[in-house]
Amino acid sequence: MVYIKNPYIRYIRRKPWAVIAPVSVIVVLYFFLFSSSSSLSSSSGSKNSAQSSPKYNYNTKSRRWFAKNRDSIILKNLPSDHISHYDLNKLTTSPDALAKKEEVLILTPMSRFLPQYWANLQKLSYDHSLISLGFILPRNNDGDVALKQLEEAIKDASTNNQLKYKKITILRQDSNSLDSQLEKDRHALKVQKERRSMMALARNSLVFTTISPTTSWILWLDADIVETPETLIQDLVAHNKPVISANVYQRYYNEEEKKNAIRAYDFNNWVESEEGLKIAASLPEDEIVVEGYAEMATYRPLMALFYDANGDQHTEMALDGVGGGAVMVKADVHRDGAMFPSFPFYHLIETEGFAKMAKRLGYEVFGLPNYLVYHYNE
Please give the residues from 317 up to 346 whose contact with a copy of itself meets the rule CB under 8 A.
Answer: 317-318, 320, 330, 332, 334-337, 339-343
Contact track, a copy of itself, 238-267, x by CB under 8 A: -x----------------------------
30 binds a copy of itself (CB under 8 A): yes
Smallest distance from the beta carbon of 106 to a copy of itself, in angstroms?
17
Smallest distance from the beta carbon of 362 to a copy of itself, in angstroms?
3
Q: Which of 104, 124, 153, 200 binds a copy of itself (CB under 8 A)?
A: 200
347 binds a copy of itself (CB under 8 A): no
Smallest distance from the beta carbon of 169 to a copy of itself, in angstroms?
7
Smallest distance from the beta carbon of 179 to a copy of itself, in angstroms?
21
Q: State residue 348 phi and psi, 5-degree precision.
A: -125, 150
64 binds a copy of itself (CB under 8 A): yes
Q: Going by DSSP bridges, is the β-strand pair 131-137/167-172 parallel, antiparallel, or unpaired? A: parallel
Q: Name the amino acid, one letter, at 272.
A: E
Nearer to a copy of itself, 115 or 311 (CB): 311
Buried b (16+ CB within 10 A) or exposed e, 244-266: bbbbbbbbeeeeeeeeeeeebbb
Residue 277 has what DSSP assignment? H
Q: Binders of a copy of itself among 68-127, rule CB under 8 A?
A: 75, 78-80, 82-89, 91, 93
Q: Say if CB 377 and CB 236 are below 8 A apart.
A: no
Give the C-alpha separation, 70 to 332, whole Å. 21
Smallest distance from the beta carbon of 89 to a copy of itself, in angstroms?
5
Contact track, a copy of itself, 262-301, x by CB under 8 A: ---------xxxx--------------------------x
Nearer to a copy of itself, 48 or 260 (CB): 48
Q: Which of 178, 359, 371, 375 binds a copy of itself (CB under 8 A)?
A: 359
- Choose among 213, 289, 256, 248: nearest CA to 376: 248
Q: Which of 164, 283, 316, 376 binds a copy of itself (CB under 8 A)?
A: 316
24 binds a copy of itself (CB under 8 A): yes
- Kindly indicate which of the ranges 34-42, 110-118, 187-195, 221-229 contains the residues binding a copy of itself, using the contact rule CB under 8 A: 34-42
Q: Which of 192, 204, 245, 269 binds a copy of itself (CB under 8 A)?
A: 204
47 binds a copy of itself (CB under 8 A): yes
Question: How many CA atoms, within 13 angstroms, populate the side-chain half-sphere of residue 23?
Answer: 23
**Would the CA dihedral through 313, 224, 299, 285 be positive or negative?**
negative
Q: Say if CB 143 and CB 172 are below 8 A apart.
A: yes
27 binds a copy of itself (CB under 8 A): yes
Q: State residue 171 phi and psi, 5-degree precision.
A: -110, 145
Q: Which of 247, 369, 371, 374 binds a copy of itself (CB under 8 A)?
A: 369
Nearer to a copy of itself, 181 or 315 (CB): 315
- Kindly indicate which of the ranges 31-39, 112-120, 125-133, 225-233 contains the residues binding a copy of itself, using the contact rule CB under 8 A: 31-39
C-alpha gyration radius of the chain? 23
Size, binding site for a copy of itself by CB under 8 A = 119
Question: Would you list the DSSP string of 113-181?
Answer: --HHHHHHHHH--S-GGGEEEEEEE-SSHHHHHHHHHHHHHHHHHHHTT----SEEEEEE--S-PPPP-
For residue 203, the SS3 value is: helix
Give the C-alpha separation, 23 to 339, whole Å. 15
363 binds a copy of itself (CB under 8 A): yes
